[in-house]
Structure 1
Amino acid sequence: MTSPLDHPAILTRLAEGAGLPALDVFGPQVEFLTMIEDGSNEVCVMRGVIPPGVTVPLHQHDDFEDFYILAGGHQVLVEEGGRLEWRDAQAGDYVRVPGSVPHAHRNLSDRPAVDLIITTPRMGRFFKEIGRPVGAPPPTPEEVTRFVHTALRYGYQLGTSEENAAVGIDLPAFNL
């Protein structure tokens, strides 16, 4: 199977999508541009879309994540001088999130934000495990519980409701 990156025009098409199956990862959507199953990839490359109004809550994990913003923009919560601060990221910006650093994303605009995401194959496996079909109904409490348990199994730390509220993120209430 050839990768979409084998096509010379892929960088001009990534903002619109590579035509690959996408997964909803609890708000954002990802398309895998490199395969993670064959074991030969040292990184996982995805096209990510954060729809308007979607927030990725505060979290951290050992895996690095690099984001090159292809289209639109969003805010990234990063640690600066021991404090968490929101920074605007627009098309053409590159955001590096080292492993074990708390971070979050939110798209406050009326347009989707499209990123090229470079991370570890382990992070790709996590996304595949928790991913749902694009267009699926909102997650049930059982699906949220499965997400939380999967994140913990991977060693990911999810921010509490209080930690999220402290940085301006209001989490929906679920009975977990």
Structure 2
Amino acid sequence: MKGIFQQPVPHTHDWNEAYFITVGEVHFSVRQQSFTASAGDFVYAPGSVPHGFWGASEQPARVLIFDAPAHTGIFFKRVSREVKDLPRDLPKVTGIAEATGIRFTKPI
């Protein structure tokens, strides 16, 4: 399971999400904008706006993710509990996402 969400598939959800980069660089796609954020930068993705991100530095990046209201935790708890074998269990990830209000904007 380690590493499955190192690059979240572009997605939407109804709640707001924000990111504070503490270490490294992270490439973001928010709406139709693509940019790289570095340690100390804050990125905001309003609810219902397509977004995704992935590491952009050679060393692992660290990011604090804020949800308002906090719904994403339910998704990650279920994935941790129910998804054991990838890529075989990818349909489970899609089902958990749909059940928790996350809509992938392209297939995973």
User: Is the shorter-chain TM-score for this pair beyond 0.5, marking a shared fold?
Assistant: yes
> Which residue in 2 is equivalent to 1:44?
none
Structure 2 unmatched ranges of 5 or more: none
* TM-score under structure 2 length normalisation: 0.83
1:1-176 matches, cutoff 5 A: 24=2, 26-28=4-6, 55-79=7-31, 84-119=32-67, 120-131=69-80, 139-141=86-88, 143-161=89-107
Structure 1 unmatched ranges of 5 or more: 1-22, 29-54, 162-170, 172-176
Which of these two proteins has the greater Rg computed from alpha carbons? 1
Cα distance in structure 1, aligned partners of 2:30 and 2:96:
24
Cα distance in structure 1, aligned partners of 2:34 and 2:74:
28
CA contact (8 A) 2:9 2:106 kept: no
Counterpart code for 1:124: G
Counterpart code for 2:16: F
Counterpart code for 2:102: Y
Which runs of at least 4 in structure 1 moved beyond 6 Å after TM superposition? none
Cα distance in structure 1, aligned partners of 2:3 and 2:92:
12
Count residues with an aligned counterpart: 105
Higher RCO structure (Cα 8 Å, ≥6 apart): 2
Cα distance in structure 1, aligned partners of 2:15 and 2:9:
16
Cα shift readout 1:108-141 (whole Å, capped 9, x = no counterpart): 3211110111113321111111126xxxx86132
Cα distance in structure 2, aligned partners of 1:59 and 1:25:
18
CA contact (8 A) 1:24 1:131 kept: no
- The alpha carbon displacement at 1:75 in A equals 0.5
- What RMSD in Å do the two structures reach over aligned CA positions? 2.2
Counterpart code for 1:99: G
CA contact (8 A) 2:36 2:56 kept: no
Cα distance in structure 1, aligned partners of 2:55 and 2:3:
15
